[in-house]
A and B are shown apart, each in its own frame.
Chain A
Amino acid sequence: MSEASLPPSRLARFGTEHAGSIRQARFFVWTFTRSPSAMLGLVLVLAFLVLTLIGPWIVPYPDHARGAVNLANRLQPPSAAHWFGTDEMGSDILTRVVIGTRTSFWIGVTITGLAALVGVPLGIAAGYFGGRIRAVIMRVTDVFLPVPGLVLALAIVAALGPGILHGVLALAIVCWPGYVRLIQAKALTLRSESYVEAARTMGASHAHILWRHILPNCVSPLVVKASMDMGMAILAAASLGFIGLGAKPPAPEWGAMIATDRTYMPDWWWYSAFPGLFIFLTVLGFNLFGDGLRDTLDPRSSRG
């Protein structure tokens, strides 16, 4: 019957060949939207991304982003002209906080990206190949794991010298062992799955098995962890900025802004309150979003 009929159009073929994916996507959306906290996370993350994308075009005083000197206007409380008030140089805090999303975004993406880039291949190698390769990789990872993250980052920044780039590098070095651990455990269980053994009896190469079976099944825990780590990385970078080892004023970075206001607290509360609020909402958003993703992508873990 099928031989006799005309070849189906491209679109129709796409529809049949991806019907399963479409059904699955619909199911994901359905599970995700049923959880209020996941939706809150999604809204916060989306708002953060939108501000990152269009920030420079919507802020009221774009020239204040890198710090403007306008001493007549210094330390104004929130008003119609300056919704979040002004800082000690007279810059608009709303502008600086919104522009700060860009700093935080690239800090978060770079830290998690670097950590995953190092951690995932090592974790796959350790979990899949096992034996001596695993022993070496996990030993090295274990050395990094028990060191408190921020302390190690402090030491690294102290050695390299303060600065946002060094802070990012330091936090990436702190983060990667978590990815090795996670992916290693996943790859270890996948390695003995029947379908991997079946692939081996077909004569599949390691590259084929890794690409076809191991990696795709590592994606969902990876996405969940990366989302959670975005929040963590942003928080850690702000902490480094706060103690003066990360971004330096007048760079529009939330941690550094809060740090500058320490001398003006509590009378000029708005100076640190709004950057603080943005840190809080961003980190909360990424965590809730990650939580929601985990419940959606791996429903078993939420039950126990």
Chain B
Amino acid sequence: MIPLLELREVTVRFGTQAAVRDVSLALQPGAALGLVGESGSGKSTLLRVLLRLQDVASGQILMDGAEITTARSARLRALRCDVQVVFQNPHSALNPRLYVHDAVAEPLQIQGGLSRTRLRARIDGLLEDVGLGEEFLWRYPHELSGGQKQRVCIARALAPGPRALLLDEPTSALDVSVQAQIIDLLRRLRARHQLAFLFISHNLAVVQLLCEEVAVLRQGAGGGARPGCPGAARAGA
């Protein structure tokens, strides 16, 4: 099976410091891979590499088996709809000057080709998917709770119809009760849209809830993927 996303011996340097060293990683279509590691181990850097927000010093990034390490402009834009991201901190992930409606509409408008009514119907559908009603459409981010903001971020990430969601500790900035709701929502969405998840966390308990496989990152080096049965995951810690 050709992995949806693959990293081959990727190294990222900030100055002379290697933030990530020779990491290889594969995300299969529809699979859920947990990526754990202590803070500073390069998890978020790896995610930025996968999103092509961060250039690599060496190594390859592949998508559907094709190399995209240096893909630019038009080609990259086409690829980007397939992989979307949900960031850790929902408070900074939404533009404070945009309504919920406009935030979710943004990826659809960038793709283009939707009439006003179709756009509105699609936004309504996306918000319904993440459990937000019509009354949230015309609110600013600062009028939402942390969990509601994260739901908007998830709706925005789903909008372009991605095949994979990269989740950068999407629950760690939230209250415990809200965390459980978001995890639950992510599980349901994954099943409904056949999404592949790359779930970054330092919380193994949360990873177990969502993922079948766990990879451990320690000081920038990959410990490889291992089956994520509870016992193995604990051994990994």
Contact = CB atoms under 8 A, between A and B. Distances in A.
Interface of A: 2, 16-20, 23-24, 193-195, 197-204, 208, 212-213, 216-217
B84 A194 contact: no
Contacts of A212: 95, 98, 106
A198 B83 contact: no
Given A194-B89, A199-B106, A17 B140 contact: no
Given A2-B134, A19-B138, A20-B99, A201 B93 contact: no
Nearest to B51: A201
25 contacts: A16-B137, A17-B99, A17-B101, A19-B138, A20-B99, A194-B89, A195-B92, A195-B93, A197-B51, A200-B51, A201-B53, A201-B80, A201-B85, A202-B84, A202-B106, A202-B107, A202-B110, A203-B77, A203-B111, A204-B106, A208-B110, A212-B95, A217-B95, A217-B96, A217-B97
A197 B51 CA distance: 9
Contacts of B84: 201-202
The 7 A-B residue pairs whose C-beta atoms are closest, nearest first, are A203-B77, A194-B93, A202-B107, A203-B80, A194-B87, A216-B97, A195-B95
A208 B106 CA distance: 10
Q: Interface size for chain B: under 10, 10 to 19, 20 to 34, or 35 or more residues?
A: 35 or more
Given A201-B51, A216-B97, A217-B96, A16 B89 contact: no
A20 B157 CA distance: 23
B140 A24 contact: yes
A264 B153 CA distance: 70
Contacts of B101: 17
A203 B140 contact: no
Contacts of A204: 106, 110
B140 A197 contact: no
Given A20-B143, A203-B80, A198 B138 contact: no
Interface of B: 48, 51, 53, 76-78, 80-81, 83-85, 87, 89, 92-99, 101, 103, 106-107, 110-111, 134, 137-140, 143, 153, 156-157, 160
A122 B49 CA distance: 30
Contacts of B87: 194, 197-198
A203 B99 contact: no
Contacts of A19: 138
B211 to A, nearest CB: 21
A18 B84 CA distance: 29
A26 to B, nearest CB: 13
A197 B80 CA distance: 12
Contacts of A197: 48, 51, 53, 85, 87
Contacts of B99: 17, 20
A202 B138 contact: no
Contacts of B76: 203
A20 B153 CA distance: 19
Contacts of A24: 140
A23 B160 CA distance: 31
A18 B92 CA distance: 22
B94 A20 contact: no
